[in-house]
Structure 1
């Protein structure tokens, strides 16, 4: 009897007209496979086709997988070779289940193997992670953002040519509230610099003590606004004395502070209370990092004796210090300004002066008085604090500065209930003569020489030599009395072109740092040449190099008018050390004309020759003879 297998017919009917169940009579899906045994006594499951990744790659050539195979599933037993990771099999790089996505024309991996922990991938959109108070740590490796190859020296390498890196941004209050900040911690403070147009800056804590942070600015364009922990007015100290009705002079109060942040504070003026009429003035400056002192200059005239109180505010902290004002008890009967004596007597326009003015008085009561000071015509007159003599005496003022104008001065003096005016004449800085070849008058003395002396002596002395100047600078670097050795701090920097002449050689214009007095300037090279070419000259004294030889000079005579100019052989000061050389053997005199980027023209001579247009390096110290503007 012939046997007939009915299973295919049954399966065909089930597939055609209903659902198929394996090991179940009630399938719950189109194809429902139920385990035959659940105790592990037999192998269960569904075996899909098993292929290698290279086999799938070979199928690309025959177009085996297309739209009709969308969703087909296989199990890859071995990944495709690296050279075959392309096209449909670009993702078939490991063992596992894959399904065919016809829309993308690619095999896609299924299951837990497809995650960023063990393979590369692409996020389809932003992802947000809430830490929930937990930490996310990356241990034992380097991280790159914007690069697949972080630098070997970097734990974190952020790479971009269009984007930057933002540190956490917060206010100063929030920064200061960070609990135990670590050394090197960085933030961006949005309001740490309220005094600047740009208030924010990156800050770093450079303190190794987390209990005492020290936040420092990393911005070159921002300077920290002053901030202190405390200002101690109770420990203030005052130098100098105040007297009722007498202008404050030479009175300063020092106030200590603690916890400075190295920030900048602005100038300020704080009016007094109690005794009115006074002001505590502070110039702008920079706090120390830590402790320091604030110095206030007291100005004004106190209205009465008593206590002057000053409420000050610096670095966000305020306090009040007090200064006693003494009664002004010093009185005199007469003050004789017409008998005032100046020592030294001569005050010359444009030349530094340091001396005294003594004014006699009678009827002094022995009372104390405070320092008094006033300025007039570029000179500062200071009467130090002291006590009057009982009876007759002298008020002795120190005088410093440089008189800006020549002519008569009337110096107002008021003291102890008496007032008068001291007359004094400021000389023009010596004579001047017009020489052949020049329409401008030449000064008859070296700059800094004693202008009261005969400008053309038969015997030259030290008083004629005057000062030494570096080219392009107004400062006196030495004079005839300066020791001949090296000068500490000698400036070896070349002055800039145009330092002594803002015009041209033919039409010179005097600069603000030209050392010559008002109405005069340093001559040009062409003016020296014209002087030498249109005069005759002879020597005076013995030409021999010696630090003590002040007697050598060369004299130039204009035949047309008989005028003469005499130039001492003052030698020079070395360009590197400032040491004196060749006094009594050479004369060197600057012109205002540049010769090169580092040199300048000069007039020079010795016993046998004259060099009207020589040149040397600008840091040398030479004499200066001025010519009228």
Structure 2
């Protein structure tokens, strides 16, 4: 009866007053519930409908909750399964009270749904925070930007494939004005290093005395000096009007260097024009040091050339005298010029002299003269002409680029002529074979025509084919591509080309096809060459009987060794294979586990292996190495 009366009372309250009170007779809102007891002796409260997250997920398909149910409250006793956390139940991931928000068509947690400490979220638009000199601190965790999983070793992990990390940018003066910068503080100085800019870090552990260091290509500070002493400049060499400058330097001392970096600089002359003072970039001394300027150009007249310079924050001017060019000869006898040593070979370092007779010298001094021709530098040191007949002795250094005839222009004052010389075609090259080690290789395949450039692939430099361990030529670049009548399939025994060891090879003279002073290389020598060279290719590496245009190229510094892709002759019948698409070069090394095979170098358009092995009856190319 009590329950029936309560129900009747509630219904009566709704019909009469439009408000319901439970345990009270004057409800203040639509539903006003008052605890029966406040002493804890009875359980008090309101229990909303209790459902599981999966039940709410099942309701999605039935369309149970829509705009008419906006604001509905339930208590979720179990979170929705991971696969059911989608749509309306995307946020139903823990037991909690939820209300239905029909605007977003989602169930939302009551009280915690907008708390980003407990749930992920998405900013609906840009947010701006004004710190007003307050601090924002994150403690005890990692921050990830562009990643959901910051690296465990990083407190801040910035991840992006199309954006970088931008440090604060400021002028050098602003950087230096930072009050008590912390050790390790990083900024980007926009005008440091002559406005090139650089990332800078404070190395000092004393905030009151910062020490900004460069994080650019050299970890050194910006160069500063206290004084630049142009008045103490020292000039070596002489300048004469109308004569190109060679070997003239000016040294200027400075004081108070901070050990920082200074950039390269070029300063042009005034007064006598046409000259430049060139300073290479470098590092200042800690304290006192010198700047050395190299003068270049051709002075426009005799007189005084003035250079105004600014280095490491200091400026001054220095002068250099330009003399009248008074040297004169009646004639230069280029026809009787003499090189010593007499032979200059293409690609090989040359150090020697060129002596040229002259007549009618007037006994006047002349400055150093220098020029470069075909990779060789010719330098006539400053001196004084003989009165009458004498000789010019040029120092010659460098490496000739091209072989064949070379005309060398000699000019002194108003007299000139050409020295005609012949640069010998190189037949060997000294290639890198290890740290501080080199080895001399033949520039041509055995049997190639050495009158052609060894680095331009063509039929004439493909050379011969040899079977391993034998010195007989089995084919050449002109041999027909088909099977060769009487092809020898006999296998040469071990030791046919090398009677020594891999580390100390000894040429087997009767069988080795290489000329005196050379031998077939070992497999280890091929490996050393490839491991200590840059490898490139020329040509298309498309095979064919008439395909002669491809080669593998080893380079080390200015040294180069080219191997034409000559293909090979098959072990069974001597037929041609893979010309233009593959190269195969014998070594003298046997394969230890198979007496019918030996090691060789193989390459194609994409792969190079310096330690391959194959049947000794194949016909491969041979490139000799010096003994």
**TM-score of the superposed pair, with normalisation by structure 2:** 0.49
Q: TM-score, normalised by structure 1?
A: 0.49
